[in-house]
Amino acid sequence: MTMFFAQYCVVCLSLAWIAAGTSALVNLRIEPDPTSFRFEGELGYLFEGEDGNLTCAPNASNLNVTWLYTTASGDQLPNVSAVGSTLVITAAPLSLNNEEVTCVAENGTANATTSYLLRVVGNPGFLSTPSNQTVSGGQTLNLTCVAVGLPTTPTVTWTMKRLDGSLTLVGAGVVGESLVFNVTDDATGIYQCTATIGSSTAASQPFYVLVKMPPDLTHTFAGGNFTNGTANVVLPCEARGFPTPVITWTRDGDPLQEYPPRVTVGPEGNLTFAVILLEDAGEYQCNASNTLNFELSDNATVDVCVPPTFKVLPISEKKNLNTSHEFMCEADGVPPPRYSWYKDGEPIISSGSRVTIVANGSLLIQSVAREDAGMYNCVVESDCDESEIFSPNANLTVWAPPLEPVIDRVEVGSRWLTVFWNHSYNSVPAVNHFRVEHRRNRSESSVTTMWNNDTSSTTVHNITGLLPHALYDIRVMAVSLFGEGTSGIVTRRTRSGVPSDSPENITVVPYVTSLLISWDIPADFTSYNHTKITWAASGGMSVGWASSETSPLVIPSLTPATSYNLSLSFVAVGGFEGPASTIESSTLNGEPTQVQVIVVNSTALMLSWQPLAVGPGPIDPVQHYTVQYNCSTCTYSDSSDSTTTRNLTTEVEIVVDANRTSVVIGGLRPYTLYSLRVSGSTQGFPGSFSDPVVERTFGDVPDTVVSVTGLLPSGPNSLTLAWAPPDLTSLNGPQEDLYYIINASRSGSDAHAAGVPPWSIFINVTQEQLNGSLEYEIEGLVPFTSYSVRIAVANVNGTGPFSSATQNRTSEDVPGAPAGVSVGRVTSYSVEVEWQAPLEPNGVVTSYNASILEAGGSDGGDGGGLVRVVQSQQVSGDVRNTTFKGLARATSYLAAVFASTSAGGGVALNQSFTTLEGNANYTPSVISVLPQSNSSMLVTWTRPPYENLTGELLGYTLRWRKKEEEGGSVGEAKWIYRNYTVECATVECATVECATMECATVIDNLSPYTEYWFSVAVMTTVELGPFSEPVSNVTLEAPPGDPSGLSLTARLPTELGFTWDPPSSPKGIITSYNASCWKGMDRLIQSNLVPSAPSPLSSVCRGLEPDTPYNITVTAYNGAGEGSLALLESSTACSPVPSVGEDLTVGVGTEDDCSIEYSYLLVLVQEAVEGARNLSSYSLEELYNSTKHFSAGTRGRRAEPPPAAVYIAANLTSSQLE
């Protein structure tokens, strides 16, 4: 059905209506009945054949309302009538679309009208819909449904019915005539597009999309560890693809051809072990394959392990101390188990050479120690089982001598000692008694022994009858049947009585803050412990005391020049003090003497002195010396009566080691007067300072930095520098010796400009030259050049530090001539002029002026020719070349160039040249035409020499056409032209042929496997040159289209025969066909490869199921691969009819059930009876042809009889048929 689209509009008119004696505005509105009209915006429409009402509603009463509904020719509109103010439309025909009806309201004086445009919409339909498709995964599929309707274009939506029967909207909101998507494996299904206008819809014929996907492994086994005897172990291997992939397995590279009964492969490909055994270990790999490809999984390792069990167990043993023992332990398992040992419930860490776990699992203990006694367990484990297996307990008993007693304390009297000790009784065999031994100061063997059989309670013994104030050695031994354990020796002295003598021969040596005291100790004073000394200032109370076991003794921290009273007495052991002896002595008074100062240099002075008299030894020596200095009277004049005083009164202290008598003081100010003094300090006396000495440091170079206040250009060759006064306190010498040094250096990019090497100048400026000013003009500089300027203060000692560099640039000047002018490419009409920047730009070059000059007429003076400017161009200062065009052929010219700055134009430099003669009619040659794809060619040609052209090269014109058009001759018709307005088109390519070409382009949108001619011509400003001789080549093949004319030739219960014609669009040389039969669209039953040579093209699918629908597909192959699919839906015939004698009374069948075979049989029987013929006289071909004329079923359509009916009828006699 052909549908037409139409535009619509609505015209609404209102008219003022005037009643008698009054005026009012009358509005009319037409309201479509919402129950029948559909609306788009504010406009309503009807579908063809529907009813609808329009009501005219004025805003005033007492009006007469009528309707006008005629065509432009005056005829009344069909199916339209008026009932009062309502217009009634019955079974709206399409002819009412875009017809206008008008409502009129009047009262006899005036009237008002409004109109409404009727819209009637036809049902939607399709001009074209997609055909069945066979595609490969990853391709882009474009499906197009072209829908039509009246008066608007229908909306097209898409649905797909998947293999599982589910229906889905394709592409999440995709609405439109084209559905484009990237094909995936879930795209197989039955597609349908639906066109909608309002509530009216039309659906297209369903079509198949069949996606062929190579195998893709989606879930594979990654390897694992299993315990021997584990049940139901599954190695997964799942794949997707179409046709459905077949899964096979290999182990250690060998196929698993025959599986034992306990190993099975499931329908999804999983390998299942009912019970996995040690022999199943190995490297496994699964393979998924179908007719398109195959995919192998990665190797996965299956490890089968056996949990460990004990073969040899450790047993309990008794061992002597320092002997060796080995606990035996051995276990079986796969992999071999690991061994560890526990002692008393704690793990044993192998301690090197004495306790080790040997490789066979045994525990070796060398030189058995006491701590080795205890309970032992052997523990085995392996990767097969996470649990640990402990052996039964095995005990080790160690026989050893008793442990050594430990003496806790010894109580002392003048003639007795009491010994207390501790002992551990954890010995085997047990201790049966202790023995206590003592001797006098290790010099005699006098021994007293105590025996004690009570080993559990007595750990104390009293030794009596000893000498007073005597040293004794004591030890305790524990005794058992295996030996003895002896404690360490403890030495103690017995107590003594009160001393009877006082110290004698007392002498005192005085020092500044200490006294050295010595005395005699009686040699036979055996109870002597120490000597006590007390002291006090004369006439005062005691201020200190000390004790010493030996003589002499230093009393420190005393006051210098002070008299002290000293008292000495002996103290015996036990604190008993004897009579005292007294003596008086005084400390010394002193400070450093002979203090001198020497000038070292401008920043250092050396101070020296004589040391203090202090006491001997470490008790009260000189701790350090303190040196103080300041510059409270510092001067900066070389005369004694002219000084400048600085406010530097704070003293600086330096601490000097006690063993030194001089110090060099550095870091001083040059040319400065300093005051210095020194004092010595002991532990108890801070010391007093010497009288100060005064000295001045030498002068030095200034250390002040001049502050620059300005640097300004004062001309093309000068800069003016200004600075602030320097700090006079940092001159480090007399002020009248001051002068300045100025340094100016070319900086930045100007330091290496125009071939001039980097340079700088130094200028000495005296105070007389400045004449009280702090400003100086630096002359002799280069124009428009950046300089870094520094300044420093100097005196007779040298130059001080320079200031930070200050930069500025001299003023601009007119530039010098360009460094060079040259002529580049010269043609018959143009020249390229190039130049270099001036070596002396003298500023920023803002522009260049380039001109072409020609010698012309006589100047009338010296006979020379006048020079006229032919062309002139001004370019920016960053440009170094330009091109002049439009010159005369074979003419001599001068090219002149000069530069300009803000100061003006510089000197010009020129170069002569002559334009070329030029040649016409240059023809390029096409070097090669190479196919790039099934729709494109790479064309390459030579670049023309510019000297052979008579005008400016604009580009190229390339033309091509199919060779077979016009019989293959190279004529002018059917050429396709393309212009390239560039000098030379280029493309990227990797082939040797096009990599060496000068000009190349790719021509696309060509037909596959088609020979084309190509030719090229040169375009210039003067002419289009002749085209080159054509060169041809053939595009590559593309996958062919679907075979045409697919039809059924034979239909049997178990066979389907079919034939087809080659594709109308082969796109190459057809090599073969793939003819397949499918059950549904996902189960391939049979596939046949058919060569392209036979005629007619046909195939047969055998071994099918009777009365079953099948899909027949045929695809063609050429050099580019498999083409699109042709699809035919059919079904096999029913099984043969019952034999003679059975009930043949059946109704006439339909096209959808198997009884249609019997209807053909009845037709044959009727023909035989009416014609009184024996059907056996018919040949099979005659019977087959005769039955074609009879109608089968009740629908009045022609159909071929099933072969089974023909076969049975041909073997019946007339009597049998009756």
Residue-wise DSSP of 423-471: -----SSPEEEEEEEEEETTT--------B--TTT--EEEEESPPTT-E
Q: Does residue 126 have a pLDDT over 80? A: no
pLDDT in tens, 598-651: 988 888 999 998 887 666 655 567 778 888 888 865 544 443 333 443 334 567
Q: Does residue 817 have a pLDDT over 50? A: yes
Separation of alpha carbons 794 and 709, rounded Å: 19
Q: What is the pLDDT of residue 585?
A: 87
Q: Does residue 1010 have a pLDDT over 60? A: yes
Q: Using DSSP, state whether 995 is helix, strand or coil.
A: helix
Q: Tell me what percent of the chain is helix, strand and coil, each rounded to the nearest 5.
A: 5, 50, 45
**Smallest Cα–Cα separation from 370: which of 398, 334, 346, 396?**
398
Q: Does residue 723 have a pLDDT over 90? A: yes
pLDDT in tens, 138-170: 788 888 887 777 666 788 888 888 766 676 777
Distances in whole angstroms, Cα of residue 157 to Cα of each of 182, 193, 211, 683, 740? 18, 6, 22, 108, 95
With a pLDDT cut of 90, the percent of the chain lying above it is 10
pLDDT in tens, 519-562: 888 766 656 778 888 888 876 665 788 888 888 888 877 777 78
Cβ atoms of residues 584 and 564 within 8 Å: yes
Cα–Cα–Cα angle for 804, 805, 810, nearest 5°?
A: 155
Distances in whole angstroms, Cα of residue 974 to Cα of each of 678, 928, 963, 1029, 1030? 119, 22, 10, 17, 14
Burial of 485 (0-12, 13-18, 19+ CB in 10 A): buried
- Neighbouring residues of 834: CB distance < 8 A, sequence distance ≥ 6: 821, 822, 823, 824, 880, 881
pLDDT in tens, 1061-1080: 999 889 888 988 999 998 87
Burial of 398 (0-12, 13-18, 19+ CB in 10 A): buried
Q: What is the pLDDT of residue 26?
A: 52
Separation of alpha carbons 423 and 405, rounded Å: 5
In whole numbers, what is the pLDDT of the chain averaged over residues?
77
Residue 450 pLDDT class (50, 70, 90 cuts): low
Q: What is the pLDDT of residue 782?
A: 86
Instruction: Return the bridge partners of 787, or none.
Output: 746, 808
Strand order in the sheet with 976-980: 976-980, 953-962, 1011-1020, 1031-1034
Q: Using DSSP, state whether 102 is helix, strand or coil.
A: strand
Q: Cβ–Cβ contacts within 10 Å for residue 89, how many?
A: 26
Q: Using DSSP, state whether 405 is helix, strand or coil.
A: coil
* Highest mean pLDDT: which range of 174-178, 262-266, 428-432, 525-529: 262-266
pTM, entire model: 0.33
Q: Does residue 860 have a pLDDT over 60? A: no
- Neighbouring residues of 75: CB distance < 8 A, sequence distance ≥ 6: none
Q: Using DSSP, state whether 526 is helix, strand or coil.
A: coil
For 481, the token pair is 């049947």
For 999, the token pair is 């000009």
Distances in whole angstroms, Cα of residue 770 to Cα of each of 790, 806, 933? 17, 20, 88
Residue 987 pLDDT class (50, 70, 90 cuts): very low
- Comparing 171-180, 230-239, 869-878, the range with the smallest average pLDDT is 171-180
With a pLDDT cut of 70, the percent of the chain lying above it is 77
Residue 1145 pLDDT class (50, 70, 90 cuts): very low
Separation of alpha carbons 238 and 48, rounded Å: 56
Region 759-776: mean pLDDT is 86
For 28, the token pair is 């009319």
Phi, psi at 922, each rounded to 5°:
-75, 135
Q: What is the pLDDT of residue 523?
A: 67
pLDDT in tens, 224-239: 888 888 888 898 988 8
Q: What is the pLDDT of residue 896?
A: 92
CA-based radius of gyration for the chain:
64
Residue 898 pLDDT class (50, 70, 90 cuts): very high
What single DSSP character describes residue 153?
P
Cβ atoms of residues 199 and 157 within 8 Å: no
- Neighbouring residues of 541: CB distance < 8 A, sequence distance ≥ 6: none
Region 227-254: mean pLDDT is 85
SS (H, E, C) 374-390: EEEEEEEEECCEEEEEE
Cβ atoms of residues 148 and 127 within 8 Å: yes
Burial of 360 (0-12, 13-18, 19+ CB in 10 A): exposed
Distances in whole angstroms, Cα of residue 250 to Cα of each of 247, 296, 301? 11, 10, 12
Separation of alpha carbons 1212 and 1167, rounded Å: 13
Task: Please compute, for residue 1145, the number of CA atoms within 13 A of its CA located in the half-sphere on the CB side.
Answer: 2
Separation of alpha carbons 248 and 896, rounded Å: 86
Phi, psi at 97, each rounded to 5°:
-65, 130
Region 297-318: mean pLDDT is 87
Q: What is the pLDDT of residue 176?
A: 67
Q: What is the pLDDT of residue 1203?
A: 41
Region 345-368: mean pLDDT is 84
Q: Does residue 1209 have a pLDDT over 50? A: no
Q: Using DSSP, state whether 132 is helix, strand or coil.
A: coil
Residue 453 pLDDT class (50, 70, 90 cuts): very low
